[in-house]
């Protein structure tokens, strides 16, 4: 098992091996810690599609390194569309590819492209640290936190977005309790978030997704903190399926709801969420579990990966620059709660 980076003292889900990108295979966690070696941009694109690597910032970082592998073969312009198409909703993927193309000039020198990939990864870690401090400051004191999906180091360049805020609260002595929603159908909360919280020495409990409402009704949660895969100019948040229902539940129970995401996740070209395509995954991800069929044969499943949470249900969107305010028309400004 790889140890945390000696300089940053954080775990990273990727490693540059000189001529390849190595990714921890998140499909196999928590029971098997195996690293997949990607020697081409096509291999990186497939790893993104297959969810070997997942989480918007981590996908963007992987794509940037995929571009470096393509540049080394003189295939950057041909490979960029394949990487871009690997996951359609997470805006960090497109952002990272566009940044490499824009900053590396027409020659696409491999060393320059690789340096840009390293810069994207380093910047993400620094942003996560800043975001964690801003998020903890917004909460302002002891709190019980419910989080969804996986938003830790596994989803980023290290530390995490929403889970980074949780870790900062823990470091401050302000984390009263942490709850991780299991997050069907890929169980990122059960498999990945619980794994990261255990590694960090943070006491936590795993919660069945359908039990979140009962937990809130019993007064056991103060804040729900989630990440984001895309945020539109008006504050609509696209995140792992189930985020919207948690926001509705939080508002009903008088709780606070925070989104923690880097500014690279904000898509100012999208005025609102009306035109954002939500990725649909294969139905067998729902009808099967750990390779075993759990629904009757030939059962059809509706399997969107993300949902849309309107800004009216969100109390704070926190980035590395602090709280972010969306571009709202006067008619769109939500009432004070």
**Strand order across the 223-226 sheet:** 204-207, 175-181, 143-147, 223-226, 256-260, 316-319, 322-323
Q: Locate tokens 């990272």: which residue? A: 96
Question: Which element (helix H / strand E) includes 318?
Answer: strand 316-319
In sequence order, the β-bridge partners of residue 15 are 22
Q: Which residues contact 101 (CB under 8 A, 6 or more apart)?
A: 67, 76, 80
Please name which of 103, 101, 25 lies closest in space to residue 70, comparing C-alpha atoms. Answer: 101
Q: Which tokens in the block code for residue 248?
A: 């509705």
- Tell me whether residue 229 is one of the annotated catalytic residues: yes
C-alpha triplet 235, 241, 244: angle, nearest 5°: 45
Q: Which tokens in the block code for residue 323?
A: 């709280």
Q: Which tokens in the block code for residue 127?
A: 């942003």
Q: Could you give the C-alpha distances from 293 to 192, 208, 235, 289, 299, in angstroms and in order?
A: 22, 20, 39, 6, 10
| Dihedral angle computed from the Cα positions of residues 33, 34, 39 and 44, in that order, rounded to the nearest 10 degrees | -60
Neighbouring CB atoms inside 10 A of 279's CB total: 15
Q: Could you give the C-alpha distances from 69 to 15, 94, 174, in angstroms and in order?
A: 13, 17, 43
Indicate which residue of 25, 209, 222, 229 is catalytic: 229
Active site residues: 229
């Amino acid at each position: 098992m790889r140890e945390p980076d000696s300089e940053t003292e954080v775990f990273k889900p990727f490693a540059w091996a000189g001529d390849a990108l190595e990714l921890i295979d998140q499909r196999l966690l928590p029971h098997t810690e195996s690293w997949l070696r990607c020697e081409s941009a096509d291999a990186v694109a497939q790893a993104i599609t297959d969810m070997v690597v997942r989480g918007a910032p981590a996908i963007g970082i992987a794509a940037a390194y995929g571009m470096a592998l393509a540049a080394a073969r003189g295939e950057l312009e041909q490979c960029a569309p394949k990487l871009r198409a690997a996951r359609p909703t997470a805006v960090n993927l497109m952002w990272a590819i566009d940044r490499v193309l824009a900053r590396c000039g027409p020659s696409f020198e491999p060393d320059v492209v690789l340096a840009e990939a390293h810069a994207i990864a380093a910047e993400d870690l620094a942003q996560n640290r800043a975001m964690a401090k801003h998020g903890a400051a917004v909460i302002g004191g002891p709190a019980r936190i419910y989080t969804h999906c996986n938003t830790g180091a596994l989803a980023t360049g290290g530390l995490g977005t929403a889970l980074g805020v949780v870790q900062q609260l823990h470091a401050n002595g302000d984390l009263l309790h942490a709850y991780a929603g299991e997050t069907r159908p890929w169980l990122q909360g059960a498999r990945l978030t619980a794994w990261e919280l255990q590694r960090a020495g943070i006491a936590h409990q795993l919660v069945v997704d359908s039990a979140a409402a009962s937990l809130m009704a019993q007064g056991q949660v103060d804040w729900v903190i989630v990440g984001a895969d895309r945020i539109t100019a008006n504050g609509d948040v696209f995140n792992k399926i189930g985020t919207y229902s948690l926001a509705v539940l939080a508002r009903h129970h008088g709780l606070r709801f925070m989104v923690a995401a880097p500014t690279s996740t904000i898509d100012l070209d999208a005025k609102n969420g009306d035109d954002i395509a939500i990725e649909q995954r294969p139905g067998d991800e729902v009808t099967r579990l750990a390779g075993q069929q759990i629904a009757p044969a030939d059962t059809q499943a509706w399997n969107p990966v993300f949902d849309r949470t309107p800004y009216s249900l969100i109390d704070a969107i926190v980035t590395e620059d602090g709280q972010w305010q969306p571009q709202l028309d006067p008619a769109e400004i939500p009432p004070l709660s």
